[in-house]
Amino acid sequence: MGLSNSSNRLRTALRGERTYEKRKILVLGCMGSGKTTLCRMLAKSANAQLCPARFYKHTIENNLLEICKEIYRIACAHNIIGSQQFEGDMTILMNFRHKEDLHKNAVEAMKRIIKSNLYSEIVKDKKRILDLPYNAPYFMTNYERILDSRFYPTDADLTIIYSQTVGVNFQSIDVGVVRYELYELPGHHIFRRYWTEFYPNTNVIIFLIDLSDLCRAAMYDGGHLQDKVRKILLAVTMSKLLHNTSFILLFNKRDLLEEIGAGFSFAGLGAGMKSWESAEKYYMEQCQSAVPPTNEVYQHIMSLTKKPDMNTTLFESLEKIFQSGVRSLDLE
């Protein structure tokens, strides 16, 4: 017995392997709440192996393409243009199939739409900007570089892009002697029913909540967002497989809530909802009440894309969860 243990240790030493204390972490939340962004930022801050930036080139170009189509669609819907205008450009974009590089016809069509006054007309009314993907302003200022034939994605591009996660995004991150095994599970409802398969032996669930939902019409008057996040969270926290699991509720996209919330009416949420601050407080209380008192829960407000330095603090906070007796964390 003793001999086989020491020969195992010797084999491990010869291979240069270290033994780590493993922590299993599930990153959950609805689509677009920031799960992939969080995993990528955590991996980067710990110098973990990342997918090379060139792999994202097509996704970034596709994001820009989709934004151009959306600008056109919204401009038509709000009678900012007649459907004949930009018809040729839209035909090119609708029929576009991605090859290795963007075809110059597609590049020119996109540039014509972006350089026109459509975008500025759309965003004049704050309500309309909500129809556009959140990353639209970034793409509107960076399109020349992205459409250049020598384009190579930057770190900022990788933070801002959006592509739906399909399957499981697994990331192993080593910090000292601890190996965080991060599983990002896709947030779309067709995948949510499989989340439970990953529950056994989970130490921590990081659950992301998009605060900018509070400024969306679908959150009010029985819209599909009303109560949605709380119900999803409740379904997770009620699982018997997670009775020993700690929860970190990350209320993300505060930057958007502040930006859009300034001119938004939150009255539909409940009596006394006069500002985005009161709406945020209400939403946080709603979500926290979905976690049973027997589970440890920590909640934090943040803007992942605006405050990238929070990663280190998150690691420290995660580590605190594994130390006994620590009941409160401070990420901000």
Ligand X SMILES: Nc1nc2c(ncn2[C@@H]2O[C@H](COP(=O)(O)OP(=O)(O)O)[C@@H](O)[C@H]2O)c(=O)[nH]1
Which residue has 């709000």 as its token pair? 78
Q: Which is nearer to Mg ion, 33 or 116 (CB)?
A: 33
Task: Check binding of 182 to ligand X (CB under 6 A).
Answer: no
Task: Check binding of 23 to ligand X (CB under 6 A).
Answer: no
Rounded least distance, CB 248 to Mg ion, Å? 17
Check if the beta carbon of residue 250 is closer than 8 Å to that of residue 209: yes
Say which entry of ligand X, Mg ion, none residue 255 contacts (CB below 5 to 8 A, set by partner kind). Answer: ligand X
Q: Tell how far CA 153 is from the center of its chain.
A: 19
Selected binder of ligand X within 25, 28, 37, 266 (CB under 6 A): 37
Asked whether residue 309 is marked as a ligand-binding residue, the answer is no
Asked whether residue 165 is marked as a ligand-binding residue, the answer is yes
Q: Which is nearer to Mg ion, 122 or 182 (CB)?
A: 182
Selected binder of ligand X within 23, 28, 33, 321 (CB under 6 A): 33
Asked whether residue 112 is marked as a ligand-binding residue, the answer is no
Rounded least distance, CB 121 to ligand X, Å? 22
Cα–Cα distance list, 75 to 68, 139, 198 (Å) = 11, 18, 43
Selected binder of ligand X within 23, 24, 253, 300 (CB under 6 A): 253
Q: Which is nearer to Mg ion, 23 or 35 (CB)?
A: 35
Distance CA 218, CA 208 (A): 19
Check if the beta carbon of residue 27 is closer than 8 Å to that of residue 182: yes
Check if the beta carbon of residue 174 is closer than 8 Å to that of residue 193: no
Task: Kindly identify the residues of this chain, within the stretch 304-323, that bind ligand X according to CB under 6 A.
Answer: 304-306
Number of residues that bind ligand X (CB under 6 A): 25
Long-range (24+ apart) CB contacts under 8 A made by 285-294 are 286/230, 287/209, 287/229, 287/230, 287/233, 287/249, 287/251, 288/249, 290/230, 290/233, 290/234, 290/237, 291/233, 291/237, 291/247, 291/249, 292/237, 292/238, 294/243
Which residue has 């599983």 as its token pair? 183
Torsion of CA 103, 108, 110, 115, to 10 degrees: 160
Task: Check binding of 35 to Mg ion (CB under 5 A).
Answer: yes
Asked whether residue 36 is marked as a ligand-binding residue, the answer is yes
Q: Which stretch binds Mg ion (CB under 5 A): 89-97, 160-168, 214-222, 315-323?
A: 160-168
Please name which of 303, 258, 238 lies closest in space to residue 33, comparing C-alpha atoms: 303
Selected binder of ligand X within 23, 25, 26, 34 (CB under 6 A): 34
Check if the beta carbon of residue 304 is closer than 8 Å to that of residue 252: yes
> Binding site: which residues?
36, 165, 252-255
Q: Which residues bind Mg ion (CB under 5 A)?
A: 35-36, 165
Q: Which residues bind ligand X (CB under 6 A)?
A: 29, 31-37, 134-135, 159-162, 165, 187, 208, 252-253, 255-256, 303-306
